Amino acid sequence: AQRVTQPEKLLSVFKGAPVELKCNYSYSGSPELFWYVQYSRQRLQLLLRHISRESIKGFTADLNKGETSFHLKKPFAQEEDSAMYYCALLTGGGNKLTFGTGTQLKVEL
């Protein structure tokens, strides 16, 4: 069965420090993965998708099929990065997203 695991409920870093939010998945098919973000008092929204290989707000994520991981990284954390981050896997024949339990990122000054 498909599963998305985010092992950290809370990650606290200092401003300017590197950030890595972990995401591991299990899926028998060809994985398509995404990161969603929810800032305080805002709607949950798409941050980035692995297939685009893009950098959004300084964040990148590389799909590692060998390690079944899709960790989200940013070299220098900013205060405005504080938010809840969810990793998601496309499943159900491409018809639904399975989300992880989320990681709350707190960037301290």
For residue 43 the two structure tokens come to 């709607």
Choice from 19, 72, 77, 88 touching another protein (CB under 8 A): 88
100 interacts with another protein by CB under 8 A: yes
Question: 92-96 contacts: CB < 8 A, separation 24 or more?
Answer: 94/32
Residues 27, 51 contacting (CB under 8 angstroms) = no
The Cβ-side half-sphere exposure at 93, using a 13 Å CA radius, reads 0
The residue whose two tokens read 């018809």 is: 95
74 interacts with another protein by CB under 8 A: no
Binding-residue total with another protein (CB under 8 A): 23
Stretch that binds another protein, among 17-25, 37-45, 53-61, 67-75 (CB under 8 A): 37-45
* Binding residues for another protein (CB under 8 A): 6, 9, 32, 34, 36, 43-46, 49, 51, 86, 88, 90, 94-102
